Amino acid sequence: MRPSNASIKTFKINGRDLSGRSNETILQVARDNGIEIPTLCYLEGLTPVGACRMCMVEIEGSSKLHAACVTQVREGMVVRTDSERLRKYRRMVVELMFSEREHICAVCVSNGHCELQMLAEQLGITHIRYPRLEQKLSVDASHDRFIQDDNRCVLCGRCVRVCGEIESAHTWDIMGRGVSSRVITDLDQPWGDSETCTRCGKCVHVCPTGALIERGMSVAEMLKRRQFLPYLTIMREEDR
Partner 1 sequence: MARTIQINPITRIEGHAKISIHLDEHGLVEEARMHVTQLRGFETLIEGRPFYELPSLMARICGICPVSHLVAAAKACDDLFSVQIPRAAILLRRMMNLAQIMQSHALSYFYLSSPDLVFGMDADPAKRNLFGLHAEHPQMARDGITLRQIGQQIIELLGSKRIHPAWVVPGGVNAPLSDEKRREILAKLPEAKEIILRTLDQYKEALVNFEPEIGTFGNFPSLFMGLVDRHGNLEHYDGRLRVIDSAGNNIIDQHDTLDYASLIGEAVEPWSFVKFPYYKPMGYPKGMYRVGPLARLNLIDQCGTELADKELLQFKGGDELKMFGKRRDDAPVLSSFHYHWARLIEILFCIERIESILDDPAVMDTHVRAHAEPNSFDGIGVTEAPRGTLVHHYKIDQEGKVTWSNLIIATGHNNLAMNRGITQAAKTFIDGDNIREGMLNRVEAVIRAFDPCLSCSSHAAGQMPMIVELVDSEGQLVRTLKRDSTNS
Sites of contact with partner 1 (CB under 8 A):
106-107, 109, 111, 136, 138-139, 141-142, 147, 149, 192, 215-221
Specify the residue, 85 or 215, whose C-beta has the smaller distance to partner 1: 215
The answer to whether the beta carbons of residues 191 and 143 sit under 8 Å apart is: yes
Output b/e per residue, 99-123; b: 16+ Cβ within 10 A: ebbbbebeebbbbebbbbbebbeeb
Cβ nearer to partner 1, comparing 103 with 161: 103
Residue nearer to partner 1 on the CB measure, 5 or 218: 218
Whether 187 and 197 have beta carbons less than 8 Å apart is answered as no
CA dihedral 27, 28, 34, 37 (to 10 degrees): 20
Least Cβ distance, residue 18 to partner 1 (angstroms): 43
Conformation bin of residue 41: beta by default, left when phi > 0, alpha when psi is -120 to 50: alpha
Shortest reach from residue 199's CB to partner 1, in Å: 16
* Minimum distance, C-beta of residue 217 to partner 1, in the bound complex (Å): 6
Question: Residue 109 or residue 119: which is nearer to partner 1 going by CB?
Answer: 109
Q: Say how far apart CA 150 and CA 211 lie, in whole Å.
A: 6
Task: Please state the closest distance from residue 96 (CB atom) to partner 1, in A.
Answer: 24
What distance separates the 2 farthest-apart alpha carbons in the chain? 54
Terminal C-alpha separation, the chain: 11
| Beta carbon nearer to partner 1, 106 or 235 | 106
Q: How far is the CB of 221 from partner 1 (least distance, A)?
A: 7
